[in-house]
Amino acid sequence: MTAPQATGRDSEVPDETHGIAERLSRMVRVETVSTGVPERDSAPLQDFLALIEELYPLVHQRLVREPVTDRGVLYHWPTTADDDQLGVATPGGPVVLMAHFDVVPAFESEGWTHPPFDGAVADGSVWGRGTLDDKGALCVILEAVESLLGEGFAPARDVYLWFGGDEETGSEAATAAAALFRERGLTPWLVLDEGGAVVDAPLPFIDVPAAMIGVGEKGSVNVVLEASGDAGHASAPSGLTPTARIARAVTRVERSPFPARLTPAAREMFATFIPHARGRGRVILESFTRAPLLAAQSLARLGGDAAALVRTTLATTRLNGGTADNVLPASASATLNCRIAPGESVASTLRHVRRAVRDRQVRIRCTDPNEPTALAPTDNRQFGLLRDAARLAYPEAVAAPYITLAATDAKHFQRFAPATYRFAPLAMDARQRASIHGVDERVSIASLRAGKLFHEALLRSL
């Protein structure tokens, strides 16, 4: 792994790193699980915000704190520079560092090595729900800011820290925060949220460590298929029942994949890795940059993350129908979660599903539609600063642009702030990436130290 490596023996970890680990451990112990029920979520979220005040006293004392809804908080760190110091070539505008502190549910019965909300510090890592998504990223932001404040450092631009408490269930707080910026006429010069990480092997044929910086994200929409019929006794079925009709529709859709295309961001990503690749991997990357159609088709066949890079994906996440084992249901439904690739849209996704279903008796509607974001540039100073900070924190990693496959709070800012990126400076191997929303989520202590270094370098470079 590309982070400075912990030894696995906590006694050999520097005292400063012990502090980072313990502070993140305490964050994990606050069970900020997003349920979508505000009255149930409110108390843990407020407890977490109170914990931040305790753990990072300089941030609390010297930055201007502003609640945004009851599920988010905005910290403002004013610059001491005037407009002339910012320079004509680099227009003014604040920097926004983002993270969220709500988490998805976790249960010890799922097979966790350490209970998911104990915040265990063991084997060179902090274990628990949220260590990677996204309290670890929030922790290293605060660690860097607290440290710089202790040195008397002042940023060359206004810096805002945005921490949201409902990213997992709708992002209403981030929506409100972005609206607040627009109301105040603040266009961020740089926005940085979760969505990328330092990984050991981005794809099977790329075996160099990489700092994957998201320049945009896929859209999303839930497509709901519904069918109705006459209820009755299961001993005398007649025709296609609603459950059978929905089952057929789901089968048809899942057998009709969306077209595969290589986006400009993916093509640039492959080109970035060519100088660092050898043998078969280099040949593959060179052919992919020359033949984008071949690249898209090849990646689609690989499945998983590789296929998700080049096409809209669809997953059946809910099936409903029937009230008893021996009763023909009057209705049935299925929910398809779609992640929309750049170049596609919510409307084109719905058209594709309708064509695949081929059944006028299946009603199709959508919920929670989000279009794919625009793509942030990679030839500007902002991307260069992110690349340089990543190189300092993870010297072996190659910084490369890519499309974030999951949804983030950053999409609300990218609509008016073009230089919006997604990169949490934490190292994650394949098992750790699989633990996000899964079992045994954990972050290495060495990675936390590197993440702090990344943010210190970024803030100094402004």
**Residue 297 and residue 378 in one domain:** no
Structure tokens at 428: 């994650």
Q: Is 453 a domain residue? A: yes
Q: How confident is the model at residue 16, as a pLDDT?
A: 58
Q: How far apart are the first and last CA of the chain?
A: 28
**Residue 417 and residue 338 in one domain:** no
Q: What is the pTM of this model?
A: 0.89
**Residue 248 and residue 294 in one domain:** yes
Q: How confident is the model at residue 238, as a pLDDT?
A: 76
* Cα separation, 211 vs 266, whole angstroms: 14
* Domain finish residue from 370, 391, 410: 370
Please give the distance of CA 306 from its chain centroid, rounded to a whole number. 17
Q: Is 41 a domain residue? A: yes
* Domain finish residue from 370, 395, 430: 370
Q: How confident is the model at residue 92, as a pLDDT?
A: 75
Q: Is 301 a domain residue? A: yes
**Residue 141 and residue 93 in one domain:** yes
pLDDT digits (tens, 9 = 90+) for 363-397: 999 999 999 999 999 999 999 999 999 999 999 99
Q: Is 272 a domain residue? A: yes
What is the CATH number for 245? 3.30.70.360
**Residue 262 and residue 327 in one domain:** yes
What is the CATH number for 74? 3.40.630.10
Find the domain containing 118 and state its range. Answer: 10-215+374-461
**Residue 27 and residue 99 in one domain:** yes
**Residue 23 and residue 82 in one domain:** yes
Q: How confident is the model at residue 231, as a pLDDT?
A: 84
How many of the other CB atoms lie within 10 Å of CB of 446?
19
**Residue 345 and residue 357 in one domain:** yes
Q: Is 3 a domain residue? A: no
Q: Is 5 a domain residue? A: no
**Residue 241 and residue 386 in one domain:** no
Residue ranges in the chain whose pLDDT is less than 70: 1-17, 81-91
Q: How confident is the model at residue 14, as a pLDDT?
A: 44
Q: Is 203 a domain residue? A: yes
Q: Is 255 a domain residue? A: yes
**Residue 430 and residue 414 in one domain:** yes
Q: Is the dihedral of CA 432, 435, 437, 439 positive or negative?
A: negative
Q: How confident is the model at residue 91, as a pLDDT?
A: 55
- In the chain, how many domains are there? 2
**Residue 396 and residue 365 in one domain:** no
**Residue 290 and residue 350 in one domain:** yes
Q: How confident is the model at residue 362, as a pLDDT?
A: 97
Omega of the bond leading into 134 within 30 degrees of 0 (cis): yes
- 450 near 427, Cβ under 8 Å? yes
* Domain finish residue from 350, 370, 390: 370
